[in-house]
Amino acid sequence: MNRRPSPIEAARRRHRLAEVAARTGIWISATAGSVTVRCPMPSHGHPDRTPSLRLFLDDDTWYCFGCSARAADVVQWVTQTESVDWRQAIQILDSGRLLSNAWAGTGDLPRLRRAGAKGGIDLPDLERTPPARIREVLDSTWAHCTTCPLHTRAVAYLAGRGIDVTVLESYTGRPEAGHTPHYGPTLARRLLSDGFSADQLIDAGLVHHHADGRITDFYAQRLLVPIRDQEGRLAGLVGRNTGDPRWPKYKNPPRTVVYDKSVDLYQPLPAARHPRGRVIIVEGTLDAMAIAVTAVAAGRPELVCPVTQSGRELSADQMRRVISMHGLPPVLAFDADEAGWDSTRRYRAAARLLGATVDVAMLPKGHDPASWLAEQGPRGLSALLPVPEPASQPGQISAPLVAGI
Ligand SMILES: [Zn+2]
């Protein structure tokens, strides 16, 4: 009865499907039953617009309605994502390294493709314009949108939300918010007169290109917040609607040659240097800015490093980076509502799969970090800085938990 398992059987026992999916950037909060996710396999041929790949968590098998011939296991997951044979797949599984998701960062494609089909929009071409030229377009945009009347408009809008961005700007020595033109030539016209071509504006993600050849601003009537890459270069802009309330509240940049939402984060302050400093993961760009402003105003910028992907999803790469930014576990400070608590549960599961822990900030129900700090001022920061437990067990969450989680 003591038959020795084959190498493949042994590998199946060592690696759970949920762990392998998490290493591919797909996180699942369920632990049993089945769940359907977007297919990460190159064999799928295109970004999976509606989830097609079902994970059977009880027996760690999976099947894609778009591209699978038959149900498969964790070893076959890796032979497909990495295009290797089963022996190499087992080595990769055991190495613990992240796995390729053929369609990571293409999450915006379906919406834009549909818009395009209605007569609308060219996506940035990732090969047509060199990255250095895209950075020049972005830098010019930022210069236009942060000069006097537009910068003043951004500062006034944020002040109305209880955020004094000039505090952050005196600390970093550069503009941290801008606004799109609200009279005179559009941004696109200004950039064309700077000598950039329409193709370059499309490739920088700054304009819509309509079927009739017109180009119009991608960000109109918006507060602009800079997303910088790990070298500090401007990579993209988050646009908060300040115009017609029927428009989407936030616009994130489309994928360009210098911006990938599965890689880049909004991080208004440098990594927290203090031994008790914390990385704080939030869902709103203005939440991150509010925390940064409050910490600088309180004279404690080295205590916090707020980050956001401008949404409630972090890729496996971003999660790894955030975890490695400080010796203490990152703090989750999502909105204190059902959606925020749901994200908190999923992040805790994801962190556990990466062998890490997270702490959870305790905000009163109905608050987000920005509204909380606008009400409480600097003393509100302590709610975002839970006291870490000295010796947590591996895999155990060392957090004062929000009620209900
Ligand atoms: Zn598929």
Whether 246 and 304 map to the same domain: the answer is: no
Minimal CA–CA distance to 348: which of 18, 29, 15?
Answer: 29
Query: What integer pLDDT is reported at residue 106 of this predicted model?
Result: 59
Distance 50 CA to ligand 1 centre (A): 11
Q: How far is CA 172 from CA 161, 232, 246, 270, 346, in A?
A: 21, 12, 34, 9, 33
- Express each pLDDT in 141-199 by its tens digit: 999 999 988 999 999 999 999 999 999 999 999 999 999 987 767 899 899 989 999 89
3-state secondary structure of 215: strand
Whether 218 and 155 map to the same domain: the answer is: yes
Distance 24 CA to ligand 1 centre (A): 14
Task: Give the residue from 95, 130, 152 where a domain finishes.
Answer: 95
pTM: 0.69
**CA separation for the pair 105, 203 (Å, rounded):** 16
With vertex at residue 85, the alpha carbon angle to CA 83 and CA 88, rounded to the nearest 5 degrees, is: 95
Query: What integer pLDDT is reported at residue 388 of this predicted model?
Result: 60
Distance 326 CA to ligand 1 centre (A): 37
List Cβ neighbours of 208 (8 Å cut-off, separation of 6 or more): 120, 121, 122, 215, 216, 217, 218
The structure tokens listed for 172 are 């970093």
- Is 60 part of any domain? yes
Sign, CA torsion 350/353/354/360: positive
Distance 283 CA to ligand 1 centre (A): 29
Whether 128 and 199 map to the same domain: the answer is: yes
The structure tokens listed for 203 are 């490739």
Distance 89 CA to ligand 1 centre (A): 19
Query: What integer pLDDT is reported at residue 289 of this predicted model?
Result: 98
Give strand pairing partners of 228. Answer: 234
CATH number of residue 378's parent domain: 3.40.1360.10
CATH number of residue 86's parent domain: 3.90.580.10
Distance 66 CA to ligand 1 centre (A): 5
Distance 18 CA to ligand 1 centre (A): 17
Distance 65 CA to ligand 1 centre (A): 6
Whether 282 and 245 map to the same domain: the answer is: no
- Is 389 part of any domain? no
Task: Give the residue from 50, 77, 95 where a domain finishes.
Answer: 95
Whether 131 and 210 map to the same domain: the answer is: yes
- Is 177 part of any domain? yes
Q: How far is CA 64 from CA 36, 53, 68, 72, 180, in A?
A: 9, 4, 5, 9, 43
Query: What integer pLDDT is reported at residue 380 of this predicted model?
Result: 93
The structure tokens listed for 238 are 């988050």
**Ranges in the chain, pLDDT < 50:** 107-120, 390-405
- Backbone torsions φ then ψ of 178, nearest 5 degrees: -140, 180
- Is 315 part of any domain? yes
Distance 139 CA to ligand 1 centre (A): 39
Whether 43 and 79 map to the same domain: the answer is: yes
Distance 10 CA to ligand 1 centre (A): 26
Distance 319 CA to ligand 1 centre (A): 25
Query: What integer pLDDT is reported at residue 309 of this predicted model?
Result: 84
Domain extent, residue 223, equals 122-251
**CA separation for the pair 179, 159 (Å, rounded):** 14
Distance 52 CA to ligand 1 centre (A): 6
Distance 78 CA to ligand 1 centre (A): 14
Query: What integer pLDDT is reported at residue 166 of this predicted model?
Result: 97
- Is 117 part of any domain? no
Distance 15 CA to ligand 1 centre (A): 21
- Is 305 part of any domain? yes
- Is 168 part of any domain? yes
Distance 64 CA to ligand 1 centre (A): 5
CATH number of residue 128's parent domain: 3.90.980.10
Task: Give the residue from 77, 95, 113 where a domain finishes.
Answer: 95
- Express each pLDDT in 87-104 by its tens digit: 999 999 998 888 888 887
Whether 127 and 246 map to the same domain: the answer is: yes
Whether 247 and 142 map to the same domain: the answer is: yes
Query: What integer pLDDT is reported at residue 391 of this predicted model?
Result: 44
Query: What integer pLDDT is reported at residue 271 of this predicted model?
Result: 86
Query: What integer pLDDT is reported at residue 214 of this predicted model?
Result: 79
Distance 121 CA to ligand 1 centre (A): 26
Whether 66 and 150 map to the same domain: the answer is: no
Query: What integer pLDDT is reported at residue 385 of this predicted model?
Result: 87
Distance 93 CA to ligand 1 centre (A): 20
3-state secondary structure of 349: helix
- Is 100 part of any domain? no
Whether 42 and 81 map to the same domain: the answer is: yes
* 119 secondary structure, DSSP code: T
Whether 86 and 136 map to the same domain: the answer is: no
Count of domains for the chain: 3
Whether 18 and 130 map to the same domain: the answer is: no
Distance 46 CA to ligand 1 centre (A): 9
What residue spans of 83-210 are helical by DSSP H?
A: 86-95, 109-117, 131-145, 148-160, 165-172, 187-193, 198-203
Distance 140 CA to ligand 1 centre (A): 41
